[in-house]
Amino acid sequence: MSERCERRWHPGRACAFGAVLALAAGPAALAAPATPSPSAGVGTPTTGAPAPAGTHGEELYRQSCASCHGQQGQGTQRGPSLIGVGPASVDFQLSTGRMPIADEKPQSRRTQPLFSADEIAALVDHVASFGGGGPQIPQVAPGNLQAGRELFATNCAPCHGTTGAGASLTNGWTAPPLYDATPVQVAEAIRVGPGLMPVFPSQVLTDQQVDDLATYVRRLRDERLDRGGGSLGRLGPVPEGLVAWIVTLGLLVTAARWLGRRAGQ
């Protein structure tokens, strides 16, 4: 579907699946190029990154990224080339805290971002200076909820589940839950296709459809909070199920003891 499907770093990448989904999603009505957004979709303050303010992307890159991705982003044994991944990919990886990873793991996970919004912007610029273009950080506007619901069912639910709770894929990879992703991160994931996720270029999903999806994914989180109850906060469906099970068990034990006491009277 695109040359990015052939990246050797993810040989198992679901390109054919992406093509099938592309058919299902129908023809693109509009393919306006995404414009860079000053709001990188992040807001978490820095946690002890050493560099001072200013355009220090190069220094941050040397300290935190070059050992794996190479001084010029050319890639090494420990990490893929960053030439042409594009600002959206770098912003997605950094704002979701996936990069930098401490060790090579099969799949980097979402975690607390290491860098501030300014530092992320500086790193995005520095990686862009390696050349190669790539998707820009999408600008997301409020979309249509119903359209988003339908697009999600066709394009996303097969991997992330109908409720967005996530699911296991092949080879120990998982499609993560979508409850923590900001609308910009949702749009970035769609355009970038991180890890085993397929790329959805604008010929497959228009910018309007990306807005609809980002709006719907946000709603999934609210629906989930309604379902799961506020006290459970951000626990995933497995812990929730476990909690339900423990509660049931607790009731059974209580009932048994009550019956036992009655019998013993």
Residue pair 118/53 in contact by the 8 Å Cβ criterion = yes
Residue pair 160/178 in contact by the 8 Å Cβ criterion = yes
Count of positions on this chain that bind ligand HEC (CB under 6 A): 52
Alpha-carbon span 258 to 168, nearest angstrom: 41
Q: Say whether residue 165 binds ligand HEC (CB under 6 A).
A: no
Residues 83-112 that bind ligand HEC (CB under 6 A): 85, 89-90, 93-94, 96, 99-101, 104, 107-108, 110
Q: Which is nearer to ligand HEC, 1 or 196 (CB)?
A: 196
Q: How far is the CB of 198 from ligand HEC (least distance, A)?
A: 6
Alpha-carbon span 70 to 83, nearest angstrom: 10
Please identify which residue in 156, 165, 184, 199 interacts with ligand HEC, judged by CB under 6 A. 156
Count Cβ atoms within 10 A of the Cβ of residue 208 and give its class: 0-12 exposed, 13-18 middle, 19 or more buried: middle
Residues 12-31 that bind ligand HEC (CB under 6 A): 14, 17
Q: Which is nearer to ligand HEC, 100 or 143 (CB)?
A: 100
Cβ neighbours of residue 124 closer than 8 Å, sequence gap 6 or more: 40, 57, 87, 90, 91, 94, 137
Q: Which is nearer to ligand HEC, 195 or 228 (CB)?
A: 195
Burial pattern 89-111, b for ≥16 Cβ within 10 A else e, equals bbbbbbbbbbbbbeeeeebbeee
Alpha-carbon span 9 to 76, nearest angstrom: 11
Alpha-carbon span 11 to 53, nearest angstrom: 39
Residues 218-257 that bind ligand HEC (CB under 6 A): none
Q: Which is nearer to ligand HEC, 159 or 228 (CB)?
A: 159
Q: How far is the CB of 253 from ligand HEC (least distance, A)?
A: 37
Q: Which is nearer to ligand HEC, 7 or 257 (CB)?
A: 7
C-alpha angle 124-83-87 in degrees, rounded to nearest 5: 30
Residues 109-148 that bind ligand HEC (CB under 6 A): 110, 123, 127
- Which residues of this protein are in contact with ligand HEC, per CB under 6 A? 7, 9, 14, 17, 64-65, 67-69, 78-80, 82, 85, 89-90, 93-94, 96, 99-101, 104, 107-108, 110, 123, 127, 155-156, 158-160, 169, 173, 175-176, 178, 180-181, 185-186, 189-190, 194-198, 200, 213, 217
